[in-house]
Amino acid sequence: MDFMKEKNYYIFKIKINHLKVFIYFIILISTIFILFYCALQENSFLKEVYAESPIKEKNKNKTVYELQDTFREIYELYKDSVVFISTEKTVRIENPFYNDPFLRRFFNIPNLPDTQKQRGLGTGFIISSDGYICTNHHVVAGMDVVKVKINGREYNAKIIGSDKFVDIALLKVDGVRDLKPVYFGDSDKVRIGDWAIAIGNPFGLDRTFTVGVISAVARKDVDQMGNSHIQTDASINPGNSGGPLINIDGEVIGVNRMIYSQTGGNLGIGFAIPINTAKYVLEELKKHGRVKRGYIGIHIAPITEEIAQELKLQDKKGIVIIGIMDGSPAAKAGLRLGDVILEANGKVINEPDELIRIVNETPIGKGIRLKIHRGKSTLEVLVIIAERPQD
Three-state DSSP at 329 gives helix
170: nearest Cα among 220, 128, 208: 128
* CA dist list (Å): 125 to 36, 145, 242, 332: 50, 18, 8, 43
Three-state DSSP at 90 gives strand
* CA dist list (Å): 16 to 3, 5, 91, 286, 383: 20, 16, 74, 69, 96
CA distance 378 to 372: 6
Name the catalytic one among 80, 138, 233, 261: 138
Residue 80 has, within 13 A of its CA and on its CB side, a CA count of 11
Count of CB atoms situated within 10 Å of the CB of 28: 10
* Known catalytic membership, residue 194: no
Long-range contacts (CB closer than 8 Å, 24 or more residues apart) made by 311-317: 311/338, 311/340, 313/340, 313/373, 317/342, 317/348, 317/350
* Known catalytic membership, residue 221: no
Three-state DSSP at 19 gives helix
Name the catalytic one among 86, 228, 241, 328: 241
> What DSSP state is assigned to residue 184?
B
Give the DSSP H or E segment for 216.
Answer: strand 208-219
Name the catalytic one among 163, 167, 215, 235: 167
CA distance 133 to 135: 7
* Known catalytic membership, residue 167: yes
340 Cβ contact partners less than 8 Å away, ≥ 6 residues apart: 303, 311, 313, 317, 318, 319, 320, 321, 372, 373, 374
147 strand-pairing partners: 86, 156
List residues with catalytic annotation: 138, 167, 241
